[in-house]
Amino acid sequence: MAIPSAPPVGQPAAPAMDINVVAGDSCLIPDDNGKQRRHYTLVLMVDGVSVHTAVDRYSKFRHQLPLIGWFTPGDPLPFPPKYPMRDYTLNKKNVAKRHKELVSFFQTFLNQHNEWELLRSQDVMTALGIASDGTSDKAHRAFLSVASARQEVADRKRAMVAAHNARIAQQQSENCSHAQTFNQMVAYSDIPLGRFTTIAFPEVLRFELSNRWWSFGDANMKGPGGHPWFRMQRTNPALFGEMFKNASFNICTMRGEPLMLLQENFHWASYEYNLYRIDPRDPARPVHACKIFREWGANFLSYTDQYDIFLTQATQHEGRLYCSGRWPSQFTLRSGSDIRAKVNKEMFTFTDKYQVDIAAGADCLLFIGIACAIDRIHHEVESKKKR
């Protein structure tokens, strides 16, 4: 058996966090009417030292606990059952089984690490026969010591969680700020004119988009932490020249700086969207990013939505993108075996929102644009079916 190492000299041992329950003897003790009743002994130990011995009948233990409020019918920690048709007075096998069940129950019950409430409860101590008149000072001190140790650990965990959440919130705020100033950095950079620029981050990002965003004017897109990252706006074609007269929308920063242009071209049963990255230095000549195409024949007998995404030379670093799933409940964009984006909306909900998860390192602007284009095409198709 391994010998536990002692704490360094000058440092106190770590306070005990658990109460161990050990079975003592079981015996028959006559009640007030002289009838023999089986009593069970439970020895409570802290750090290997006995601090209290509880001796009582099964029924007394059982009747005390529901009054405490820590045990209710249907609780995932049920008290050992009665077995009313069995002999638990003289049958040694049954007695040993019940004793073992009591030990197991109290071992679990007393070591629910809910900080300090349970072990500081006078009701719990009363149920275990720990007197409040000073005759059980050793048990009182032991229970309070364990409770304090548990609370200290819980406080440290809460502080660590709070610090972790604060770091995440700070990173989310910084990421959002980066997206707002990205175009300014491009404008003052030495990136060649016409080069496709990406907004990517080293972690997975979740965005919340509005269903039917085109129906209600401008629509904000929320990113991690609920920060508004982008805004979808109806486009004034004059800003981008005559060749973009069919462009309906662009994705902007929250200050209104255009980042991506979405140009739609719908003809009867074919639906096409072209996406362009807007270079702030030459907005009249956006960089073509990709084309999303839905053709009637490919979807005639298909249960899932079939979209073809054709990347351009500017975005060929993404490989070839494939769609799978049914919009928008579970829809995935893949490049080879890598998931680049996932779109999800819970079924049978009344919300008009859906989430887009962008993979680490993926261009969030490109994949949000693709998701918006597919959303627009999907609802146009559904609207035609209802006409």
Neighbours of 286 (CB within 10 A): 25
Q: Which two tokens stand for residue 322?
A: 């494939």
DSSP-assigned letter for residue 311: E
Domain count, the chain: 2
pLDDT at 6 over 50: no
Considering the domain architecture, whether residues 89 and 200 belong to the same structural domain is answered as no
Whether the ω angle into residue 286 lies within 30 degrees of 0, i.e. cis, is no
The structure tokens 């070839």 sit at 320
The structure tokens 């290997």 sit at 48
Residue 294 lies inside a defined structural domain of this protein: yes
Residue 305 lies inside a defined structural domain of this protein: yes
Residue 236 lies inside a defined structural domain of this protein: yes
Choose the most confident range, by mean pLDDT, from 59-73, 89-103, 351-365. Answer: 89-103
Residue 44 lies inside a defined structural domain of this protein: yes
State which residues form the domain around 310. 191-386
Residue 176 lies inside a defined structural domain of this protein: no
Residue 186 lies inside a defined structural domain of this protein: no
pLDDT on residue 90: 93
Considering the domain architecture, whether residues 96 and 224 belong to the same structural domain is answered as no
At 293-307, the pLDDT tens digits run: 987 655 555 555 678
8 Å CB contact between 316 and 304: no
d(CA 118, CA 326): 50
Considering the domain architecture, whether residues 232 and 355 belong to the same structural domain is answered as yes
At 226-254, the pLDDT tens digits run: 999 999 887 755 555 555 555 578 899 99
Considering the domain architecture, whether residues 117 and 205 belong to the same structural domain is answered as no
Considering the domain architecture, whether residues 240 and 329 belong to the same structural domain is answered as yes
- Angle in degrees, CA 183, 365, 290, rounded to 5: 110
At 177-202, the pLDDT tens digits run: 999 998 888 776 778 887 888 899 99
Residue 219 lies inside a defined structural domain of this protein: yes
Element (H, E) at 338: strand 338-344
CA distances from 167 to 163, 238, 271 (A): 6, 43, 43
The structure tokens 């809460």 sit at 158
8 Å CB contact between 5 and 13: no
